[in-house]
Amino acid sequence: MTKLPNKAFHKLVPNLREKGFYKHKEVRSINWPEYTLAQIEEAKEIFIFIKEHVDVCNKIIQNKVGRPLTSAKILAKAILVCEFLHLQERQAQGWLDIVGSFIGIYEHLDDRVIGEAYNNPEVLYILKQVFNNSKTSDGKLSGDGTGLETSRKQNYESNKETGDYLTSIVDSREIVQAFDAGGKQECRIMHELIKEVEGNSLRLDAGFIDRKLTKEISDLKMIPYIFPKKNTILNGNLSWKNMYLSLYNDVMKWLKEYHQRSHTESFHSSFKRRNKIIMKRRPTARLSQITARIILHNKRKLIYYDRLAKAN
């Protein structure tokens, strides 16, 4: 039996974090008139998207007797508009009277109804359908976790233990394929998230080093790229050995694939910068708010790539 080169591998790993592997890209100049026009067109497309994708969703059938409640589809549309325009419930009450008819809302919704919509399980069920029905994937997947602060003064590293945590898998276009905001430790929840995605490869940082996870990724016909730690040894199952031997035998090729994982970090950065702090506290309401924001993020990315395709 051939002895694995563990000592040589341990010497290699610290050098993998050295800078200088890639050339710096030039910062593109912004044409502000074109940017403004693109933002207007994006808003129109997103309003049409909200109407069409919510209307085709299935509702939970409820045999309740009494006064009919506001449709869950209408409430789901209201939440998506609130998150797109960054509106609080009182502001949304007025704005929905103005733009509501464009997306199929023909009744007045007061701020209390809009606020309670976030905590409605049927509304969340519809939002999850919109998320699943509207995403696409190029198969080049990456995963990571990030803290969700409850104030701008919070620091991510010092607040991991609060349970305000988002773990996600995105493709190389930063389109979210699966996510969890339940506060579970990122490596543990990744065992479940990988079952919800389809792809050719999956990139994870050293926080996800787990022989069982590596095998599960390989069993799903995806090539795993998990960054090693200094004390990582090559002994393990076949998928584990193959992953790190491919790194050992061709460092630059492996790193070129692995560093596409930065798209996950870019998504998390964009998610926090573009949106206000997650203010909902109840679990269902919180998940509804996060789901709505991810739906809108995905749609913005799809609009951007569709525009690039047409330009080319």
Q: Could you report the per-residue pLDDT of 98-120, keeping only the tens digit for each?
A: 999 999 999 999 999 999 999 99
Structure-token match 């969340």, residue found: 124
User: Residue 124 contacts by C-beta under 8 Å, 6 or more apart in sequence?
Assistant: 284, 287, 288, 291
The average pLDDT across 269-286 equals: 91
Distance CA 162, CA 298 (A): 27
Confidence of residue 281 (pLDDT cuts 50, 70, 90): confident
Separation of alpha carbons 215 and 205, rounded Å: 16
Residues in the chain: 312
Q: Please give the residue that has the higher pLDDT: either 9 or 116.
A: 116
Q: Is the pTM of this model over 0.85?
A: yes
pLDDT exceeds cutoff 90 at 142: yes
Q: Give the start-to-end residue ranges of the domains of the chain.
A: 32-59+69-134+279-311, 139-273
The class that CATH gives domain 139-273 is alpha beta
Strand order in the sheet with 165-171: 176-180, 165-171, 140-147, 201-204, 223-226
Q: Specify the higher pLDDT residue, 300 or 9.
A: 300
pLDDT at 28 over 50: yes
**Looking at the predicted structure, is the pLDDT value of residue 91 above 60?**
yes
Nearest to 105 by CA among 71, 129, 130: 71
Model confidence over 149-188: pLDDT tens digits?
A: 766 565 555 555 555 789 999 999 999 999 999 888 899 9
